[in-house]
A and B are shown apart, each in its own frame.
Chain A
Amino acid sequence: EIVLTQSPATLSLSLGERATLSCRASQDINNKLAWYQQKPGLTPSLLIYDASNRVTGIPVRFSGSGSGTDFTLTISSLEPEDFAVYYCQHRYNWPHTFGGGAKVEIK
């Protein structure tokens, strides 16, 4: 089973600041990684697929990069609605797994 490790677990930032979230895979997963956003009481929303492709309707301030074992989700300038928990997930093989999550909170 491929383990995805997200860091940091919590990121405390102010409005307008840049957020950089990391996801590291325990083995090479090519570009087979997605990012989700989950707000309290709501179901997750798919943001980025195959490492760097933004889902239709997702704001351009969200971008994904990386390949192999190291991946990054960047939010270029935090808006109030961006404070949430973010998860990465791979589809390289079965079983698929999620990272443990990273919370972006208001400083």
Chain B
Amino acid sequence: EMRLLESGGGLVQPGGSLRLSCVASGFTLSDYAMSWVRQAPGKGLEWVSAISHSGDDTFYADSVKGRFASSRDNAKQTLYLQLSSLRAEDTAMYYCATHFPHCSSGSCSYFDHWGQGTLVTVSS
């Protein structure tokens, strides 16, 4: 069974930093491009970042560009999201998710398997 387990969330002051981790099990992480998606309490979904299979290519939402950084260690089956210069509006549950592998062209950036999330709260 494919599983994703996020960790690293918590309470942080505005301007602070956190590193989120997402550990994959039940599949080979290097077979999948991955994304981070967040959801503020009681609000909708917001795509945050994507990273290619190898980690060579990364993409970001305008709202986090220059402040967040995605990386991965396929040997450790782990995905990372470094959050910096945090703001109150970054408060959300952060999910990692696999990209859907069955589009006509192969893998495509829809989100198939999701972790249970890790909560980031930015407050003084």
List residues of A whose CB falls within 8 A of some B CB.
1, 34, 36, 38, 43-44, 46, 49-50, 55-56, 87, 89, 91, 94-101
Given A89-B45, A97-B61, 11 more A-B residue pairs with CB atoms under 8 Å apart are A36-B111, A46-B100, A46-B111, A50-B103, A50-B108, A87-B44, A91-B108, A91-B110, A96-B35, A96-B50, A101-B45
Q: Are A100 and B47 in contact (CB under 8 A)?
A: no
The CA-CA distance from A55 to B117 in the complex, in Å, is 23
B31 within 8 A of A: no
B99, closest chain A residue (CB) = A91
Query: Lowest 9 CB-CB distances: which A-B pairs, in order?
Result: A43-B114, A34-B110, A101-B44, A98-B45, A94-B59, A91-B109, A96-B47, A95-B61, A49-B110
Interface string of B90-124 (1 = CB under 8 A from A): 00000100001011100011111011110000000
Binding site for A on B (CB under 8 A): 35, 44-47, 50, 59-62, 95, 100, 102-104, 108-112, 114-117
Bound complex: CA A36 to CA B60 (Å): 21
Q: Check A89–B44 contact: CB distance below 8 A.
A: no
Given A94-B59, A95-B62 in contact, is the A44-B44 Cβ separation under 8 Å?
A: no
Chain A at the B interface: SS class: loop
- Residues of chain A with a CB closer than 8 A to B108's CB: 49-50, 91
Cα–Cα distance between A91 and B35 once the two chains are bound (Å) = 12
CB distance from B74 to the nearest CB of A (A): 22
Q: Measured between C-beta atoms, what is the minimum distance from B79 to chain A in Å?
A: 16
Do B117 and A43 touch across chains, with their CB atoms under 8 A apart? yes
A-B contact pairs, 26 of them (CB 8 A): A36-B45, A43-B114, A44-B111, A44-B114, A46-B111, A49-B100, A49-B110, A50-B108, A55-B100, A55-B102, A87-B45, A89-B45, A89-B47, A89-B110, A91-B109, A91-B110, A94-B50, A95-B47, A95-B61, A96-B50, A96-B109, A98-B47, A99-B44, A100-B44, A101-B44, A101-B45
